[in-house]
Amino acid sequence: MTRPALLLLALLFLSRVAAAQAPAQNGSSQDTSKPAVPATAKSAPSASGSHPATNADLQATVNRLLDLLKNQQAVLEDIQYDRRLQSRQIESLEERLEETLLENDRLKTKISNLESTASVAPTPTPGTGATPAPMPPAAIVEPAAPPLPATYLPAPPVSDNPGGPSWHRLFTLSGTDSKNTELFHIEGSTWRVFWHNLDKPGNAYKNTSALFISAFPKDDTIPQSVCSKLGTGGDSTELLGPGNYYLKVEASGGSWELAVEDFH
């Protein structure tokens, strides 16, 4: 209900209450004109007591009407806030639309200017200083990769101390997969392993190979580490002897080779 309708209801209610109180007041005035009797004293309190009850009901009704008006006012304020928010959103969208349309117009103008420039530019004709067609770029020939050496291991040692201790090569081994060597005997207190790992050819395979070598004494499970290599490269590793040993080679993604030498 709207505020005018509620006010109209309140006025109607007040008029009815006033009309109901008027006969009661007239009756009390008629009773006071007669000679005083004991009944008059009893009726006076009842007539005067009816007024507070009527006023309380009237006040409660007015309070309810005010509460309804406050609630309706709060609802109207919420509706007005929502409408203001929607209006702001619509204004923001309209501004974005205008900016988009302006940018579209700029692009169209730029395209038309480029087309006009292209259509006005003179086209060279043959025999009148025409610009020759560009030559296709020459094919880039990559230099051939140098041939790979037969081996990356050093040559077998040559003794420069006849009759004295020197290095002696026991065997060499190569492959592309994992394997174990045969059991071999080391006489000296020192021996060494030359090893080398090689990636597959091509840049795509650079540093993709792996080589791990361990030296196991016979009947022993605790090895000596020889190498752990990723990618192309090689070196040598000295180990402690004497004894009987075998090498455990773990490899993948490339090729490898090794040589075992004993110093005695």
Burial class (CB in 10 A: 0-12, 13-18, 19+), 226: buried
Q: Has residue 130 been placed in a domain?
A: no
Chain mean position to CA 86 = 33
Q: How many CB atoms lie within 10 A of CB 225?
A: 11
- Judge whether 203 lies within some domain: yes
Please give the model's pTM, rounded to 2 decimal places. 0.46
Decide if 199 is inside a domain. yes
Q: Is 48 within a domain?
A: yes
Mean pLDDT: which of 65-69, 84-88, 107-111, 179-183 is highest? 179-183
Boundary of a domain, candidates 54, 77, 102: 102
Is residue 162, in this structure, part of any structural domain at all? no
Q: What Cα–Cα distance (Å) separates residue 170 from each residue in 183, 237, 263? A: 12, 15, 10
What is the rounded average pLDDT of the residues 196-211?
Answer: 94
Q: Among 82, 102, 122, where does a domain finish?
A: 102
pLDDT band at 30; cut points 50, 70, 90 = very low
Cβ atoms of 214 and 225 closer than 8 Å:
yes
Domain count, the chain: 2
Any domain includes 158? no
Residue 109 has pLDDT above 50, yes or no: yes
Q: Which long-range contacts (CB under 8 A, 24 or more apart) does 156-163 make?
A: 156/259, 157/261
- Of 76, 102, 128, the residue at which a domain comes to its end is 102
Same domain? 92 vs 171:
no
Per-chain mean pLDDT for the chain: 81
CATH number at residue 238: 2.60.120.380
Residue 57 within a domain: yes
Residue 18: domain span: 3-30+42-102
**133 falls in which pLDDT band (50, 70, 90)?**
low
Q: Are 159 and 170 in contact (CB under 8 A)?
A: no
- What pLDDT score does 120 carry? 73
Residue 157 lies in a domain: no
Residue 193 in this model has a pLDDT that exceeds 90: yes
Does residue 87 sit in helix, strand or coil? helix
